[in-house]
Amino acid sequence: MGLNVTLLLISSNIYNNVQAPSSRGFSYIEVWILGSQLPILFALLEYALILFQMKYLRLDSDFRLLDCIAAILITLYYFSFNLYFWVF
């Protein structure tokens, strides 16, 4: 969890330091950084969902299936994002 929060803070700090003219829309670096932040946010939401289930729904089951599904979704997203960003 600490690694996810650290990655999100570093990524948002890099995004805030990007110097881009305000007269135009998103630049390519801004699209790249925002696209790279989505898997980090997804991992934080997954962790929040697991904590919610454990605390309020009293589910103490094994969350390995949820982790595998999330890992596959994040991998597919990041692969397709990179493919679209660098090829098209």
Per-residue pLDDT at 33: 86
Whole-prediction pTM: 0.80
Residue of 17, 22, 38, 19 lying closest to 85 (CA atoms)? 38
* Structure confidence by residue, pLDDT tens digits, 32-72: 888 999 999 999 999 998 889 888 988 878 888 989 999 99
CB-based contact 18:33 (threshold 8 Å): yes
Distance (Å, whole) CA 53 – CA 34: 29
